[in-house]
């Protein structure tokens, strides 16, 4: 498994849909995942430290788990089938570990609220994570898009949640 972190939440400019970008811990590869607007907002709010006056759905999930003496052990983006990501939340309970099926967006929002690690299965990483080195290879290829590849790599290196905040609200 590849441990990852959330880099940012933004808008895919082609599909005009919210997207969460996760990276490996060294930020050498990344994985964009399209998510729903509510989940994008929930993830962005947590990244920005915004606390709503009343619990949102993922806050409620965290509160339930706390009250039941369960902890989020980890979140896993486990599969990619037909362009859809699948995930799970692994809980530690008094009776042992429990794995719960979840959309990756919900799992990520909950992981952020519980400071739990996020992982991508090796098969998903091999299939879908984009490696920065791949961008460098494109830069070196005599295809006429060297400047574009370099600009894109610089863009990814410097992305922050603030870059997209106004597009989510």
Does the pTM surpass 0.85? The reply is no
Alpha-carbon span 44 to 64, nearest angstrom: 22
- 118-120 and 71-81 as β-strands: parallel, antiparallel, unpaired? parallel
The per-residue pLDDT for 142 is: 46
Strands (E), 94-164: 96-102, 118-120, 130-131
Query: DSSP 3-state assignment of 24?
Result: strand
Alpha-carbon span 62 to 75, nearest angstrom: 13
Please identify which residue in the block is written with the tokens 């996760």. 22
pLDDT (tens digit per residue) in 84-93: 999 999 999 9
Please identify which residue in the block is written with the tokens 């619990």. 55
Full domain range(s) for residue 106: 2-168
Interacting residues of 53 by C-beta distance below 8 A, sequence separation 6+: none
Alpha-carbon span 62 to 46, nearest angstrom: 13
Domain count, the chain: 1
The per-residue pLDDT for 131 is: 84
The per-residue pLDDT for 123 is: 95
* pLDDT classification of 39: cutoffs 50, 70, 90: very high
The per-residue pLDDT for 152 is: 56
Q: Considering only CA atoms, which of 62, 10, 74 is closest in space to residue 40?
A: 10
pLDDT (tens digit per residue) in 60-71: 999 999 999 999
Alpha-carbon span 157 to 28, nearest angstrom: 9
Tell me the Ramachandran region of residue 127: left when phi exceeds 0, alpha when psi lies from -120 to 50, beta otherwise. alpha
Query: Mean pLDDT score of the chain, rounded to an integer?
Result: 85
The per-residue pLDDT for 166 is: 41
CATH number at residue 107: 3.10.690.10
Q: Quick check: 33 and 104 in contact, CB under 8 A? A: yes
Alpha carbon 46 to its chain's center = 12
């Amino acid at each position: 498994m590849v441990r990852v972190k959330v880099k940012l939440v933004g808008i895919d400019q082609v599909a005009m849909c919210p997207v969460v970008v996760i990276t490996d811990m060294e930020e050498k590869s990344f994985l964009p995942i399209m998510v729903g607007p509510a989940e994008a907002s929930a993830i962005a709010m947590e990244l920005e430290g915004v606390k709503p006056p009343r619990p949102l759905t993922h806050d409620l999930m965290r509160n339930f788990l706390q009250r039941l003496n369960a902890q989020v052990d980890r979140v896993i983006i486990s599969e990619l089938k037909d362009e859809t990501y699948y995930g799970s939340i692994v809980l530690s309970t008094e009776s042992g570990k429990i794995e719960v099926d979840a959309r990756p967006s919900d799992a990520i929002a909950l992981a952020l609220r519980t400071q739990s690690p996020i992982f991508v299965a090796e098969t998903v990483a091999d299939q879908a994570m984009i490696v920065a080195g791949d961008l460098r290879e494109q830069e070196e290829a005599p295809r006429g898009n060297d400047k574009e590849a370099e600009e894109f790599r610089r863009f990814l290196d410097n992305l922050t949640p603030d870059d997209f905040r106004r597009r989510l609200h």
